[in-house]
Amino acid sequence: MSDAEKTAPESPDATAPASSVSSSSLPSPSPATEPQQTRTLTVRVQRSGPGGANARFDDYRLSVGPEDSVLDVLDRIRVETDPTLVYRHSCHHSSCGTCAMRINGRERLACITRMLALGTDVVTLEPLRSLPVLGDLMVDMRPMFAHIDPDWGYVRPVEKASTGVPHGVARYTRLENCIECGACMSACPVSNGTDDMPPATAQPAQHAAPQSTRQPARQAASQAASQAAQDTDESLPTDSPADPLAAPLFIGPAPLAALNRELARHPERREELLHIGKGPHGERHCRRHMACSRACPSGVYPAKDIMDIRMMHGGGKD
């Protein structure tokens, strides 16, 4: 992935007409090696500038083999036809979490989603919801990371395998599976704005927006504690929707799952950490849709973490 892909959208002409890739413009595998199941599909990609400006769909027609993932196909389109296509990826094997997007309306990892397994003639690709669009299929993850303290350390399975156990360490303890892909944030109806249940609270309250880089959650805890002292239980935030990094109504499933892991690791910090979970943007906004757990590609079940936090302070209220 180029630096440009990592950091900035590359759609200089966001209103350009749809381009297409015909199967005849792509390398043709020899008849002897061409998988019998190869099919020509339409890949329909949402294109836009930052903030979703000038959103449209572009269609690309191309041949797809049974082993081709959605990410493989995006790479082919970008290399062979449309270098302005913006998306994010790194590991290609479901470890980094950077390729999450909506595929045929569901949050999935593009690198492990087989095109033909989707079973549709048109495969529609859209960016994650709940997070600001930087361009095309790439979203800004900072609003999620702003509520996950980088000090909440852990070891992922892939990191265990690649580094081995250092001298003097008896063993690793596997602490979490979250790959910080944001799929749960996108799937959550409260976070993505599709929740049709009435809000539990009504009065607005101002609060600080997250920093534009990762914010230590101890700082967030302090802010939340301070805010909780000012807010009543009936408070809701009123950030300007024009600010994509404004603190959200609900900090979302992934930060709350991370918080619950930290609560398990550090029971001595229970009160401090619970200030985040029960703060004005915390678990109180969860409606138990369970969409986060269904969307998670890594078996985290963030809805259970949210319920754990709710129960830790006598929850159950909506």
Q: Which residues bind ligand FES (CB under 6 A)?
A: 89-92, 94-99, 109, 111
DSSP per-residue string spanning 79-107: HHT-TT-----S-SSSSS-TTEEEETTEE
Report yes or no: 132 and 139 within 8 Å, Cβ to Cβ: yes
Q: How far is the CB of 1 from ligand FES (least distance, A)?
A: 9
Q: Return left, alpha or beta for 28; rule: phi > 0 is left, psi -120 to 50 is alpha, else beta.
A: beta
How far apart are alpha carbons 276 and 218 in whole angstroms?
9
Tell me if 70 sits within 8 A of 125, measured CB to CB. Answer: yes
In the list ligand SF4, ligand FES, none, the entry touching 109 (Cβ below 5 to 8 angstroms by class) is: ligand FES
Each residue of 7-26: b (16+ CB within 10 Å) or e? eebbbeebeeeeebbeeeeb
> Among positive and negative, which fits the CA dihedral 293, 298, 302, 304?
positive
Binding footprint of ligand SF4 on the chain (CB under 6 A): 97, 178-184, 253-254, 257, 295-296, 298, 300, 302
- For ligand FES, the closer of residues 99 and 296 by Cβ is 99
Look at residue 295 and give the partner it binds from ligand FES, ligand SF4, none, a contact being a CB closer than 5 to 8 Å depending on partner kind.
ligand SF4
Q: Rounded to the nearest whole angstrom, what is the least distance from the CB of residue 177 to ligand SF4 in the complex?
A: 7
Question: Quick one: 135 or 297, whose CB is closer to ligand SF4?
Answer: 297
Going by C-beta distance under 8 Å and a sequence separation of 6 or more, which residues neighbour residue 63? 23, 26, 38, 39, 40
Among ligand FES, ligand SF4, none, what does residue 138 contact (CB within 5–8 Å per kind)?
none
The two three-digit tokens of residue 33, written as one number: 């090696």
Nearest-approach distance from CB 230 to ligand FES, in angstroms: 40
CB nearer to ligand FES: give 210 or 302.
302
CB of 107 or CB of 283, closer to ligand FES = 107
Task: Tell me the closest approach of the beta carbon of residue 170 to ligand FES, in angstroms.
Answer: 30
Nearer to ligand FES, 11 or 94 (CB): 94
Nearer to ligand SF4, 64 or 190 (CB): 190
Beta carbon of residue 299, minimum distance to ligand FES (angstroms, whole number): 14
**Torsion on CA atoms 31, 37, 40, 43, rounded to nearest 10:** -130
Nearer to ligand FES, 14 or 91 (CB): 91
Q: Which does 236 bind (CB under 5 to 8 A by kind): ligand SF4, ligand FES, none?
A: none
Other C-beta atoms closer than 10 Å to the C-beta of 197 total 11
134 binds, among ligand SF4, ligand FES, none (CB under 5 to 8 A by kind): none
Residue 130: Cβ-neighbour burial (10 angstroms; 0-12, 13-18, 19+): buried
Pick from 97, 100, 105: which is nearest to 74 by CA?
A: 100
Tell me which of ligand FES, ligand SF4, none is bound by residue 302, counting a contact when its beta carbon lies within the kind-specific cut-off of 5 to 8 angstroms.
ligand SF4
